[in-house]
Chains A and B, each alone.
Chain A
Amino acid sequence: MSKSDILNTIRRGLGRGVPSDAERQQVLARIERHERNLIPMRAQGSEAEIQTLFIEMAKEAAAEVIELPTLQALPVAVSQWLQAANIPDLVMASDAELKSLDWSVLHPIVQHERVALAGDLASLTLAFMGIAETGTLMLYSRKESPTTLNFLPDNHLVVLKRQDIVGVYEEAWARVRNLSPGQLPRTVNMITGPSRSADIEQRLQMGAHGPRALTIFLIG
């Protein structure tokens, strides 16, 4: 039996047998505490500093950042972006917050609410958090926001509310844990800029298999 064989070999190497209840409890207690390790100072400034850092780092990672005053301004901004890119279709997540907006301005661009399919040119999803440290977006899978929307379309448009920007990953984990205690969503995506590869002669090319462009609509 491979499992007992592997565990016994490890235990032999550690010079002990099956761990005692006390030893096991000690390790489980460490998991339970999930203490933070050293956190770099970089993203521990004021709220304003953190937001500025997020924008800087996201742009450095080749994301486009479009700042909007309110969520209500989103449909027009998205419509303009799609028109400029000459894209006739948009696949959208169906979160209540997005659905509550007036999307009639998109016309004649056709709006879909479904999973992404090969050939889709643009998707729009809602980010759960922004992480300033590296300009990273955090998204997670749920009924309203299928994961394929984040990877298959050529262009990924993401809505991020300013108040959802935190400094460091650890703050985002704390909020992910509260989503549904005891279980993470099926997938949590941390996305920093659009897809890329340097596999040919170490020369960086944008748009490998994921979206070629990542546009963040920053609200507020």
Chain B
Amino acid sequence: MQITSPQFKENARIALTDVGLQKALGNVKTGFPQKRANAVARLPEFDQLRDQGRDLKNHIIANLDIYLEEFEANVIKNGGHVHWCRTSEDARQTILKICQDKGAKTVTKGKSMVTEEINLNEHLEANGITPIETDLGEYILQLRGEHPSHIIAPAIHLNLEDVSETFHAHHNKPKSMDPAVLMQEAREELRARFVAADVGITGANFLVAETGSSIIVTNEGNGDLTQTLPKTHIVVTSIEKVVPTLEDMTLFLRLLARSATGQEFTVYNTLSTGPKRPEDQDGPEDYHVVLVDNGRSDMVGGELQDMLRCIRCAACMNHCPVYGAIGGHSYGWVYPGPMGSVLTPQMIGIEKAALLPNASTFCGKCESVCPVHIPLPKLMRHWRKNEFERHLTPKAARWGIKTWAFFAKRPSLYRLLSQTSNRMLRLLGGKKGRIHKLPMVSGWTDHRDMPVPSSKTFMQQWNEKQKAGH
């Protein structure tokens, strides 16, 4: 997909005035956080599970090479194949070759963000193979020629009217505004294609080293039809998804659904282990796992290592005030929200994605809901520092930071300046105590008033309280 992260500011400005998008985003803010909170409240051990999840992921990363090799050995033992792909290009070529060897014409796909990351659909199409997205949200987007704006609710930026119009344009059916009817249409349209597909491609939520299995977690059942009906099943996934045992996978399953949709458990949790057995009547004859690296191994041992714990639940974006205001497409690449602001610079380069880690108020909500305690604000700060050091920060911002640093290193000058500006701001605020317009910060005052500061600066109050013996 085309990268528009460098135009983040412009994207965000357009998003803020997009009436349809703003209406649709209302569904994120009211839906997911409340559902998650309810699910968490029903499980008293939730926070303990989060701590264990963090520790287990850290253990896995510290032994990642061993677990990956063990996983591979067990896939092979079960009659499957493992393909290691350092780059997106390696992964695209590998998958295309498997499809071509099978003479594939159509490929059904379960929901997979890694296939978005490697631009798989475009590559298959360019080589005469038709990919068919089967997750309802992804199917809607494929018809519209769009990409997901959310990692678990891909079409969350759309409203019912949009889906209704899209289906009317593509299905030979009367226009409907009933979501149940629309879903039924998609079900009927896709049924024959599930059966006809030569290859089924799914992602994986986890890979189990112990058994050589992949697991997918879906509510629709599309992933299961995708991986059961075609003769070839390709799992496209990434190296950090490996877990040691079924018990360890279970720990993450208890965290995943609750953090993501607020469900107690997702409807279908399906383990796949190798191809069909000689006596089985259905199931794929070939089972391939494509292990995508794409910059992840470089995160091991570095400042971004904690990000490898991510289980892709989307809680961080569901709770992010910035995501909630501008939606996922504004971020300009595959992964939006706080987790995207950390991952995108790693995958497409900080020079293109520098604005993303800056699109945060550092309110800390993302970290507070993360099921594996990823310090997302800290990791975004890492990128800001990196950006500054590499002189990618805009001149005005660099000048501002340098000016601030000059005063911050000279406390008495700093205090004098803050006392003076405090007085000036209060003068500007007048009796109302609010400032309507302020030069240089119109980005703020164009949209809301600036409150005047309290009558005494922090340091003045501190000194008074110290003297008073508090």
Encoded as 1 (CB less than 8 Å from any A CB) or 0, chain B from 61 to 82 comes to 0111111111000000110000
A203 partner residues in chain B, CB cutoff 8 A? 179
Set B84, B183, B191, B270: member contacting A2, Cβ < 8 A: B84
Q: How far is the CA of A183 from the CA of B78 in the complex (A)?
A: 7
A22-30, A70-78, A81-89, A101-109 - the one binding chain B:
A22-30
Is B132 in contact with chain A by the CB < 8 A criterion?
A: no
B273 partner residues in chain A, CB cutoff 8 A? 183-188
Interface residues of B in 113-160 (CB under 8 A from A): 134-137, 140, 153-156, 158-160
* Residue pair A200, B182 in contact (C-beta under 8 Å): yes
Interface residues of B in 5-52 (CB under 8 A from A): 24, 27-28, 31, 43-45, 48-49, 52
* Residue pair A199, B228 in contact (C-beta under 8 Å): no
Q: How far is the CA of A207 from the CA of B254 in the complex (A)?
A: 24
Interface residues of A in 183-200 (CB under 8 A from B): 183-200
Measured between C-beta atoms, what is the minimum distance from A23 to chain B in Å? 7
B430 partner residues in chain A, CB cutoff 8 A? none
* Residue pair A197, B269 in contact (C-beta under 8 Å): no
Is A80 in contact with chain B by the CB < 8 A criterion?
A: no
* Residue pair B70, A196 in contact (C-beta under 8 Å): no
- Number of residues from B at the complex interface, CB < 8 A: 102
Q: How far is the CA of A3 from the CA of B297 in the complex (A)?
A: 11
Set B27, B66, B282: member contacting A19, Cβ < 8 A: B66
* Residue pair A208, B136 in contact (C-beta under 8 Å): yes
A34 partner residues in chain B, CB cutoff 8 A? 210, 244-248
- Chain B minimum-CB-distance residue to A208: B220
- Number of residues from A at the complex interface, CB < 8 A: 80
Give residues in B with beta carbon < 8 Å to A. Answer: 24, 27-28, 31, 43-45, 48-49, 52, 56, 62-70, 77-78, 84-86, 90, 134-137, 140, 153-156, 158-160, 163, 179-180, 182-184, 186-187, 190-192, 194-195, 209-211, 213, 219-222, 224-225, 228-229, 239, 244-248, 250-251, 253-254, 261, 264-277, 279-283, 291, 293, 297-302, 305
Inter-chain pairs besides A41-B44, A186-B275, A188-B271, 15 sampled, C-beta below 8 Å: A6-B84, A6-B291, A13-B298, A13-B302, A28-B70, A34-B210, A38-B45, A38-B52, A135-B264, A189-B224, A190-B269, A198-B261, A205-B179, A208-B219, A208-B222
Give residues in A with beta carbon < 8 Å to B. Answer: 2-3, 5-7, 9-15, 19, 23-24, 27-28, 30-31, 34-38, 40-42, 57, 60-61, 114-115, 117-119, 133-136, 141-143, 146-148, 150-152, 169-170, 173, 176-177, 183-203, 205, 207-211
6 cross-chain pairs, A with B, having the tightest CB-CB distances, nearest first: A210-B221, A13-B301, A13-B300, A199-B137, A208-B220, A134-B265
